[in-house]
Structure 1
Amino acid sequence: MSKFYINHETIGSDGEMFLCDNVQNLVKFDMGPSESANDPNSDSTCEMLVEFICTKALFPLCLTFEPFSGMEDDLERLFKGKNIEYALRFEGLKNKRFPVFKLTIEKPSSLTFVLQETFWIATCNNFYAFSFRDNIVYKPVIEKGWFGREKTWIWPHFDMNGASTVLEIWHDGDGFNLYTTEPCFSTIEKLASYFPVGTSIVNNGD
């Protein structure tokens, strides 16, 4: 029997960038497999994603991720071979640009294939996030660096206006944050209902 945890979290961690007219409607959870931390080779997060998305067929969904530069041709061949719709863009400033893929995933077999071929990228500290509409955009962010100098970064922002949900994979691949404005995902109990019957769900309040 699968065992996962779901915890309610507070909005406001470093790196969270939202486009949201009413942040009070935005809810955050962290979710992950309960035992994968003891196994560095575990693919439990992938299994959790498949169960969460496929049990009630939450398709189509979007995947936005940042591969390493130089991988674009190989990834395009993979996606074309499986008839997976995708777009490739290059974000950044001047000569410091990086590739960003946006995929549209329409069925369980495509989701499984994409996770098998690309999830390792998420474990390498690269941005990797699912959403139920195309609401992830890249915008400049100005921060102060060494000696008080301002530096501009291009950073993914989540447009959470309207009905929106984003699942951002952690940078070690061992779980993810779920951000939502949708009532159907707004509580731990509602999220638990998207897993197969018999799945064990725990939280810090248990």
Structure 2
Amino acid sequence: MPLLVDPALPEGTLRATHQPHLTANGLTLRPWKPTDAQAVYTAFNCPDIQRWHVRRLDDLAEASEWIDQWASRWTDETAASWAATNSGQVLGQVGLRGISLAEGSASISYWVTPPARGQAIAARAVDALSAWAFHTIGVHRLAIGHSTLNTASCRVAERSGFPLEGTLSQAVKHADGWHDWHLHGRLARPL
């Protein structure tokens, strides 16, 4: 079924290039690599990461599968993920989910390892990724969504210039039941 409007971004916007390394605010965002499996496995053993991301990894093989999926998701132009690092050490993750080239939109996800918390890693990573998405690939809109109980994620969104746009009732299921969902958004060019 044909679209009645031109897509905001052409097919190939991502897959025509290699996933970049982004450097800003004292962080390097880089594509995941196989040697990150232990860091990913350790991160997903954190109860907070499991709670808010609704998944766990049971062994290094699953961590490797989690890493391996990102190359095909970049090629399919549906999602992308970067390791947020400093001096080679993985401090967290930031990524684009639900990429829609037709709409020129995506959602941002992030997590930070327990030892790296309290250093604004997530906010700095979101800032760097947002700048790249808006200015380099030309995304029109980015969103951040999180459980209303996840106050740390709300602070990251607000600190990164994503104002709260609304609350969706019981929109996401976590291990402890249905959660209301905050939706934050930001446009490439504010109205």
TM-score normalized by structure 2?
0.33
| Structure in which a larger fraction of residues adopt helix | 2
Answer with 1 or 2: which has the greater Rg.
1
Larger RCO (CA under 8 A, 6+ residues apart): 1
TM-score normalized by structure 1?
0.31
